[in-house]
Structure 1
Amino acid sequence: MLFWLRRSRTPALLAALAATGEPITHDTLDAFDPSPARAYVRELLITSGILPPRNEFLECLPAWADTLLAGTPAQHRQILSPFVHWFLLRRGRRRGSTSRGSAAFLRSRLRRAAELLAWIDEHQLTLGTLTQGEFEQWLSEGTTTRANIDAFISWAEARSLIADITLPRKARHGPLGVLDDEERRNQLHRCLNDAALPLSLRVAGALILLFGLEGTRVTRLTRDDLHDDGNRLRLAIDDHQIDLPPKLANLIRELRDAPATPSLMNRAVGGSAWLFPGRYPSRPIDRSGFGRVLASHGITVRDGRNSARYALASHLPAAILADLTGTNIKTAVEWTRWSKRNWFDYIAIRANDQTNTAQFE
């Protein structure tokens, strides 16, 4: 404790907050320089009930955006400032974008907009007279992240700041990265049976490989998403509940009933509501870091998810696939198209199955 008081930046920051004499608010804390200590103190105050919870990934974006825009010409700021504050951030708050990846995507969209305006100035053009050919030239000169300009183009067109510009769409003939059936079975077998793997990795890997869930969706599962009547365990995905196979259900029960995490804050509040708790009670484990740990143990998140969805799409209609995986119906239709099945195939298969079954009754 003495070492912590003398060396850690956390007690020094708490002392500085007290010295202001002002009520402790998020704004008061925001006035201090960004640092790991500030992030930790904020979570400490939220856990203690002194500060209300807030979306840190989203709320740190306004200051970052202002810093980025400060280095752009004034005429660019006049366009980009309302785009980020009244469109990107407003939509992000409305959608509840709470992950690190969502915040990074918003940053990318603002950067791409700033890059386009800088390129237009460099080539002595104007945004209002930009042609489709010139726009596609800009796209071709950069990386694939320039496709993130789509939000800015739509926003600018709605305000008559730009002509009718279309972002070219590359045809996709299937998902990127799919495991073959044998590799998927091997990975799933390890998750269900290999006691040497950490329990959290076994559960997450099995959910991804069986049901094609997004990594973010898995890490944000809570104990309230589990419905256990003692005989069977159901997992709530949006408004749909999945019956879990017995072996996976037992693993999830074991994870749910595991002792509190080593995090002092999680222990202070009696554990975490998250099935995969992170360092702070208000957040689950970081998805990207968790994905790297899974990969280091031979569990491939993206390829495993894609192969599971591909297998499910070959047997299920799009509407059921969307409910099962928690994806939107358009995405589910794409998966069923890629697997070369549709609803009418499903009806035909079901009718054939019923006919074959009737022959043996």
Structure 2
Amino acid sequence: MSCGVLPAVDKQICSLERWLIGHLADIPDPDHAQVIRRFATWEVLPRLRTSSQKKPITPAARRHAADQVKQATAFLTWLAARDHTLGTCGQTGIDAWHAEQNEYTRNTMRAFLRWCSASKLTRPFRLPPIQIRRATPMPQPERLELIGRLLTDPDLSLRTRVAGVIVLLYAQPLSRVVRLTLDDIGHSNDQTLLRLGEPPSPVPEPLAELLHRWISSRDNMNTATNHASRWLFPGRRAGQPMHPDALAALINDIGIPTIAGRTAAIRQHVLEMPAPVVAEALGYHRVTTAKLASEAGGTWRPS
């Protein structure tokens, strides 16, 4: 008799499912709870499960899914306060709600509103188009000044210095920085290499020296199951890397805007090198780097 193998269960989805039980129990209106349960069951969770088949769900994606559920719950409460329900909600109600909300809330709610419309829970309405605002890159002299500060200021923590330079030099998001391991650090002909894509990127001095100092003195290594951690930035939980939000807080606290710095770094790279080369080396999609090169005024074009 053959035995089947159960599919792997994504821990972030399990976390969301546990949170959802408590969230539903806290909704005082049973009709609202039923709508939210349906939305989570037939829209939010299936989308996450489909994504998990390609790659593990990130904590950020899990938080975004929970925010969608919370904003949907708040929207039902907003309607009830105005003596309305989903069934009586149409374009006027949607426009009034949009006028009161910030951009993040409006974008987070789009999945729920579209689901309501597709499920014919509301009257017909149209959603305003999404307004995409790109992060403004910091000026190149400011980026270089910040890199110099991180490389030379002994009063800053070693962890913050190394992580900050990886962001500002290699245009890496912190969600990827925290997933780096010791196996991503290599050597060739006395040159330290950092594998972000292919080929690995050279690590110049004095960053290489800082990187090796950090590896030999990493934090959060004292627990019984964490002393052999391979994460470049170990977290407090055994076997887990540092959370991106925690690392972001440390870097932001010393006055380094990570998004603006990363945007400046990738723009500078595509100005100096062919966009496909940058994409392969730094782990970006080729379409992304080609578009950035065009926006930055890069002159290199494939032959």
Amino acid at match of 1:198: S
How do residues 183-194 of structure 1 correspond to structure 2 at under 5 angstroms? 183-194=142-153
**Larger mean Cα displacement after TM superposition, 66-75 or 214-223:** 66-75
Please tell me whether the aligned partners of residues 260 and 271 of structure 1 are also in contact (alpha carbons under 8 angstroms).
no
Change (3 A) 1:133 1:236: farther
Gaps of 5+ in 2: 1-7
Give the C-alpha shift of residue 263 in structure 1: 4.1
SS in 1 for 2:200: strand
Question: 2:67 is matched with which residue: 85, 104, 108?
Answer: 108
Query: C-alpha separation between the residues in 1 aligned to 2:125 and 2:283?
Result: 34
In the alignment, does 2:27 pair up with 1:66?
no
Query: C-alpha separation between the residues in 2 aligned to 1:134 and 1:145?
Result: 19
Please tell me whether the aligned partners of residues 220 and 234 of structure 2 are also in contact (alpha carbons under 8 angstroms).
no
Q: Which has the higher helix share?
A: 1
Question: 2:109 is matched with which residue: 136, 146, 149?
Answer: 149
Q: What's the counterpart of residue 304 of structure 1?
A: 261
Question: 2:251 is matched with which residue: 279, 294, 298?
Answer: 294
Please tell me whether the aligned partners of residues 234 and 241 of structure 1 are also in contact (alpha carbons under 8 angstroms).
no
SS in 2 for 1:228: strand
Query: C-alpha separation between the residues in 2 aligned to 1:199 and 1:338?
Result: 35
Q: What's the counterpart of residue 226 of structure 1?
A: 185
Question: 1:165 is matched with which residue: 121, 126, 129?
Answer: 126
Give the C-alpha shift of residue 283 in structure 1: 1.6
TM-score normalised to the size of structure 1? 0.67
Please tell me the root mean square deviation across aligned C-alpha atoms, in Å: 3.2
Please tell me whether the aligned partners of residues 150 and 167 of structure 1 are also in contact (alpha carbons under 8 angstroms).
no
Query: C-alpha separation between the residues in 2 aligned to 1:167 and 1:320?
Result: 38
Query: C-alpha separation between the residues in 2 aligned to 1:181 and 1:160?
Result: 51
Gaps of 5+ in 1: 1-52, 352-361
In the alignment, does 2:242 pair up with 1:242?
no
Query: C-alpha separation between the residues in 1 aligned to 2:291 and 2:95?
Result: 26
Q: Which has the higher contact order (CA 8 A, sep 6+)?
A: 2
Q: What's the counterpart of residue 212 of structure 1?
A: 171
SS in 1 for 2:300: helix
Please tell me whether the aligned partners of residues 187 and 298 of structure 1 are also in contact (alpha carbons under 8 angstroms).
no
SS in 2 for 1:282: coil
Q: What's the counterpart of residue 81 of structure 1?
A: 37
Amino acid at match of 1:106: A
SS in 2 for 1:241: coil
Change (3 A) 1:127 1:313: farther
SS in 2 for 1:234: strand
Query: C-alpha separation between the residues in 1 aligned to 2:128 and 2:280?
Result: 30
Deviations 1:295-353 (A, max 9, x none): 33343322221221232243455544444443445654553354244xxx312xx89xx
Query: C-alpha separation between the residues in 1 aligned to 2:168 and 2:254?
Result: 14
Deviations 1:5-28 (A, max 9, x none): xxxxxxxxxxxxxxxxxxxxxxxx
Give the C-alpha shift of residue 169 in structure 1: 1.8
Amino acid at match of 1:205: G
Query: C-alpha separation between the residues in 2 aligned to 1:331 and 1:138?
Result: 34
Please tell me whether the aligned partners of residues 79 and 86 of structure 2 are also in contact (alpha carbons under 8 angstroms).
yes
Please tell me whether the aligned partners of residues 225 and 238 of structure 2 are also in contact (alpha carbons under 8 angstroms).
no
Query: C-alpha separation between the residues in 2 aligned to 1:186 and 1:90?
Result: 46
Give the C-alpha shift of residue 106 in structure 1: 1.9
Please tell me whether the aligned partners of residues 193 and 202 of structure 2 are also in contact (alpha carbons under 8 angstroms).
yes
Amino acid at match of 1:281: A
How many residues are paired up?
A: 288
Give the C-alpha shift of residue 277 in structure 1: 0.6
Query: C-alpha separation between the residues in 1 aligned to 2:77 and 2:287?
Result: 35
Change (3 A) 1:91 1:193: same
